[in-house]
Chain A
Amino acid sequence: MTATHLPRHLLSAADLDRDEALLVLDTAEELALLADRPIKKLPTLRGRTVVNLFFEDSTRTRTSFEVAAKRLSADVINFSAKGSSVSKGESLKDTALTLEAMGADAVVCRHGASGAPHRLAHWIRGSVVNAGDGTHEHPTQALLDAFTMRRRMGRLEGLNVAVVGDVLHSRVARSNVLLLSTLGADVTLVAPPTLLPVGVDTWPCAVSYDLDAVLPKSDVVMMLRVQRERMHASFFPTTREYSRRYGLDARRMAALPDDAIVMHPGPMNRGVEIAAEVADSVRSTIVEQVANGVSVRMAVLYLLLGGALDTDNDERAGAA
């Protein structure tokens, strides 16, 4: 491995080359050992400030970043912008300037508008981590998914991964396609044509409309959340029909190879894209994904902020 640092920001899974992505996964493996110790804390980011800037509600992602930062001894500020006066873009800049004045070393940003973390990165000096922007990307989700796959399957290279569901509106799908192709996995997107973006043919992956044809050769099936309100915009006729054609139930799960796993980024719509008995089966990694999320986010914060801390070799050696 040649990479020792990450780029200043993590805005897109495409920001990471293969070595950098593997550096995150390997660092996360080291940091995961910490979870088994009675004292789960390292002094690495003591005195550094991490701001969780969430313009959208997402308790699970925010908590995951918060736990990750605290285990590295960073000071964590939760800046929940939803419901306050912050609703227009003008305030995005004002918020950025405020955080800048407070000396944030890293800003973890969740926003309903695609590209908002990119704008934020123009206005502040600290590192920006994209924690999900609109229908664009969610790179740490892709990293934790890759981490989970590698742990369960022992490899990523050549792995057949089916990503199933509302690709059009999914930041998880975009980041996964980019990261998994960087890491050598073979991704097939499966969805009704209405839920695939025009231009998907330029992505580094295959596309299918037929879930039953894809399942027997899939090592990993990742089910995406499908929002019921999509049917009102005619993306599909009814949730029942969607579920029949693209839902993962016990019958379909039986078509998978013996060691295949089932993933879901959460929150799930049980009975729509995934049946309860599938979500709760031994193939399911859904709970593991949550635990792995903390390790991967620790690795990202550590590498982003550690990378900026060139003189602090002791602390870096202490964790890696």
Chain B
Amino acid sequence: MSAAAWILRGARPLGGDPVDLYVDNGLFVDDAPTGAEVLDAGGLIALPGLVDLHTHLREPGREDAETVETGTLAAALGGFTAVHAMANTEPVADVAGVVEQVWRLGQDAGHCDVHPVGAVTVGLRGEQLAELGAMAESAARVRMFSDDGKCVHDPLLMRRALEYVKAFGGVIAQHAQDPRLTESAQMNEGAESARLGLAGWPAVAEEAVIARDCLLAAHVGGRVHFCHVSTAGSVELVRWAKGKGWNVTAEVTPHHLLLTDELVRTYDPVFKVNPPLRTAEDVAALRRGLADGTIDAVATDHAPHSLEDKETEWAAAAFGMTGLETALSVVVEAMLTSGELDWAGIADRMSVRPARIGRLTAQGQPLQPGAPANLVLVDADARWTVDRRQSASRSRNTPYEARELPARVVATFLRGRPTVLDGKPA
């Protein structure tokens, strides 16, 4: 099945007119290669392979919830050709040795590129900078640094991190959450939390940190990226900072584009996530922000958890949702069906811009001769029903169980080699 040359017949790049795409030796080429395998892609949408800025692969440390092998297979099935593996593993990815281990595991698995994210501070403790330079110079060539799961809340430490990574073109991906304002927080603070008697996670706890870090990035000329922005106010702040010309980018998760805090009424921890599901007004503002480019990227925040960490009362459950296999469908549901983004827009927010933010030169490229053949073929007309037992992830904590979603990934190619064919692992 892994022929070196492919003819993808009748695919529609970015939803445009059908063409034949030629792949040889890992690249798109001008002419039909000889001896190529032919794939009938009639009517399928061709997009550059998706790039996730925010994935929790859980290895090393929580292999019961996910491994690099299972997580990257789920990524490939979701149309991704590159993922950024977050640093909150056990041990934490705060030294060159751990990021290199994760990077090598990704190479060995071969389902998609794995770009480890380095921790900003030692042990994610927010006290002392990790050896960012060593991680940048390691085989993993780390460019994105994040204490995700925790906020770099010390303003001086954040300032230093933003300054320090300028030396190697790094970016600090901030998990914006004021820790004092969110002590024991369980869900969005508002009408629903008032009624449900769950401690509130106020929007201001995210927005105050975003405002501060925009100002810090501007002051030191650094590059800041905001993970999983979830509120209407955050969109406004990022819009304001971009209007000033500051080097600020932001991502939104698929679930924050579709789901609201009313789902918490079930007290089913499958809807427990950090930042929490917000209101319908926030969802609308996030969609507008993604549509007008204020928000640069969709990132999954794929956060697998074992059953015992989720089948509990709400307060005892872990935060997080799986999302790699449903991300594209959810974005189609939230953005394409409503007309807020077209296929070119989806490619831009799920591949081109995330690759640029992560400084990945071989990803997010146009489907043109000479470019690496990273692509995904999507059946735009298919509808499918989410069945968590069918997931390639080791975990089952999808919030979309039994939900019907549009668009299905048919094939994924990583540098000319299929990782997914006919919707199944190649």
Contacts of A111 in B (CB 8 A): 313
Contacts of A171 in B (CB 8 A): 197
Q: Is B189 an interface residue (CB 8 A)?
A: yes
Q: B191–A202 contact, CB under 8 A?
A: yes
Contact A133 to B197, CB < 8 A, known contacts A89-B316, A90-B308: yes
Contact A119 to B267, CB < 8 A, known contacts A199-B189, A200-B194, A202-B194: yes
Q: Is A80 an interface residue (CB 8 A)?
A: no
Contacts of A203 in B (CB 8 A): 194-195
Contacts of A197 in B (CB 8 A): 193-194, 200
Q: B195–A115 contact, CB under 8 A?
A: no
Q: A88–B316 contact, CB under 8 A?
A: yes
Contacts of A284 in B (CB 8 A): none
Q: Is A135 an interface residue (CB 8 A)?
A: yes
CB distance from A88 to the nearest CB of B (A): 6
Question: Within the assembled complex, what's the spacing in Å between the Cα atoms of A198 and B196?
Answer: 12
Which chain A residues numbered 197 to 217 have a C-beta less than 8 Å away from chain B?
Answer: 197-200, 202-203
Q: Is A113 an interface residue (CB 8 A)?
A: yes
Q: A113–B315 contact, CB under 8 A?
A: yes
Q: Is A305 an interface residue (CB 8 A)?
A: no
Q: B197–A198 contact, CB under 8 A?
A: no
Q: Is B198 an interface residue (CB 8 A)?
A: yes
CB distance from B269 to the nearest CB of A (A): 8
Contact A198 to B198, CB < 8 A, known contacts A113-B315, A116-B313: no
Question: Within the assembled complex, what's the spacing in Å between the Cα atoms of A136 and B186?
Answer: 13
Contacts of B266 in A (CB 8 A): 118
Contacts of A243 in B (CB 8 A): none
Which chain B residues numbered 180 to 203 have a C-beta less than 8 Å away from chain A?
Answer: 186, 189-200, 202
Question: Within the assembled complex, what's the spacing in Å between the Cα atoms of A90 and B200?
Answer: 24
Q: A199–B315 contact, CB under 8 A?
A: no
Contact partner of B196 among A89, A93, A136, CB < 8 A? A136
Contact A89 to B311, CB < 8 A, known contacts A118-B266, A199-B189: yes
Per-position binary interface string of chain A over residues 129-143, scored 1 when its CB falls under 8 Å from any chain B CB and 0 otherwise? 000011111000000
Which chain B residues numbered 151 to 207 have a C-beta less than 8 Å away from chain A?
Answer: 186, 189-200, 202
Contacts of A114 in B (CB 8 A): 186, 196-198, 267, 314-315
Question: Within the assembled complex, what's the spacing in Å between the Cα atoms of A80 and B147?
Answer: 40
Contacts of B198 in A (CB 8 A): 114-115, 134-136
Task: Closest A residue to B306 by CB, please name it.
Answer: A90
Contact partner of A199 among B195, B268, B312, CB < 8 A? B195
Question: Within the assembled complex, what's the spacing in Å between the Cα atoms of A115 and B191?
Answer: 16
Q: Is A174 an interface residue (CB 8 A)?
A: yes
Per-position binary interface string of chain B over residues 277-313, scored 1 when its CB falls under 8 Å from any chain A CB and 0 otherwise? 0000000000000000000000000000000100111
Per-position binary interface string of chain B over residues 313-336, scored 1 when its CB falls under 8 Å from any chain A CB and 0 otherwise? 111110000000000000000000
Question: Within the assembled complex, what's the spacing in Å between the Cα atoms of A50 and B312?
Answer: 23
Q: Is A92 an interface residue (CB 8 A)?
A: yes
Contacts of A118 in B (CB 8 A): 266-267
Q: A198–B200 contact, CB under 8 A?
A: yes
Count, chain A residues at interface, CB 8 A:
26
Contacts of B316 in A (CB 8 A): 88-89, 92, 113
Contact A89 to B197, CB < 8 A, known contacts A198-B202, A199-B191: no
Question: Within the assembled complex, what's the spacing in Å between the Cα atoms of A116 and B197?
Answer: 12
Task: Closest A residue to B267 by CB, please name it.
Answer: A115
Question: Within the assembled complex, what's the spacing in Å between the Cα atoms of A171 and B314?
Answer: 16
Question: Within the assembled complex, what's the spacing in Å between the Cα atoms of A136 and B194?
Answer: 9
- Most chain B C-beta atoms within 10 Å of own C-beta, residue among A111, A114, A136, A203: A114
Per-position binary interface string of chain A over residues 83-95, scored 1 when its CB falls under 8 Å from any chain B CB and 0 otherwise? 0000011101100
Per-position binary interface string of chain A over residues 288-320, scored 1 when its CB falls under 8 Å from any chain B CB and 0 otherwise? 000000000000000000000000000000000
Contacts of B312 in A (CB 8 A): 88-90, 92-93, 119
Question: Within the assembled complex, what's the spacing in Å between the Cα atoms of A134 and B184?
Answer: 13
Q: B313–A198 contact, CB under 8 A?
A: no
Task: Closest A residue to B200 by CB, please name it.
Answer: A198
Question: Within the assembled complex, what's the spacing in Å between the Cα atoms of A90 and B196?
Answer: 21
Per-position binary interface string of chain A over residues 186-206, scored 1 when its CB falls under 8 Å from any chain B CB and 0 otherwise? 000000000001111011000
Question: Within the assembled complex, what's the spacing in Å between the Cα atoms of A116 and B315?
Answer: 9
CB distance from B256 to the nearest CB of A (A): 20
Contacts of A92 in B (CB 8 A): 312-313, 316
Contacts of A88 in B (CB 8 A): 312, 316
Contacts of B314 in A (CB 8 A): 113-116, 119
Q: A199–B193 contact, CB under 8 A?
A: yes
Task: Closest B residue to A136 by CB, please name it.
Answer: B197
Question: Within the assembled complex, what's the spacing in Å between the Cα atoms of A123 and B133?
Answer: 51
- Most chain A C-beta atoms within 10 Å of own C-beta, residue among B194, B197, B200, B317: B197
Question: Within the assembled complex, what's the spacing in Å between the Cα atoms of A92 and B308?
Answer: 11
Q: A119–B197 contact, CB under 8 A?
A: no
Question: Within the assembled complex, what's the spacing in Å between the Cα atoms of A265 and B414?
Answer: 65
Per-position binary interface string of chain A over residues 62-93, scored 1 when its CB falls under 8 Å from any chain B CB and 0 otherwise? 00000000000000000000000000111011
CB distance from B247 to the nearest CB of A (A): 34
Question: Within the assembled complex, what's the spacing in Å between the Cα atoms of A200 and B200?
Answer: 13
Contacts of B194 in A (CB 8 A): 197-200, 202-203
Question: Within the assembled complex, what's the spacing in Å between the Cα atoms of A114 and B190?
Answer: 16
Contacts of B200 in A (CB 8 A): 197-198
Q: B311–A90 contact, CB under 8 A?
A: yes
Contacts of B186 in A (CB 8 A): 114
- Most chain A C-beta atoms within 10 Å of own C-beta, residue among B266, B313, B315, B316: B313
Beyond A92-B316, A114-B186, A197-B194, 19 additional contacts (C-beta under 8 Å) are A90-B308, A92-B313, A93-B311, A93-B312, A113-B313, A114-B196, A114-B197, A114-B267, A115-B313, A115-B314, A118-B267, A133-B197, A134-B315, A135-B198, A171-B197, A197-B200, A198-B190, A198-B194, A203-B194
Complex A-B: 12 CB contacts under 8 Å:
A88-B316, A115-B196, A116-B314, A119-B312, A119-B314, A174-B197, A198-B193, A199-B191, A199-B193, A199-B194, A200-B194, A202-B195
B interface residue numbers (CB < 8 A to A) = 186, 189-200, 202, 266-268, 308, 311-317
**4 closest residue pairs by CB, A with B:** A89-B312, A115-B267, A136-B197, A199-B194
A interface residue numbers (CB < 8 A to B) = 88-90, 92-93, 111-116, 118-119, 133-137, 171, 174, 197-200, 202-203
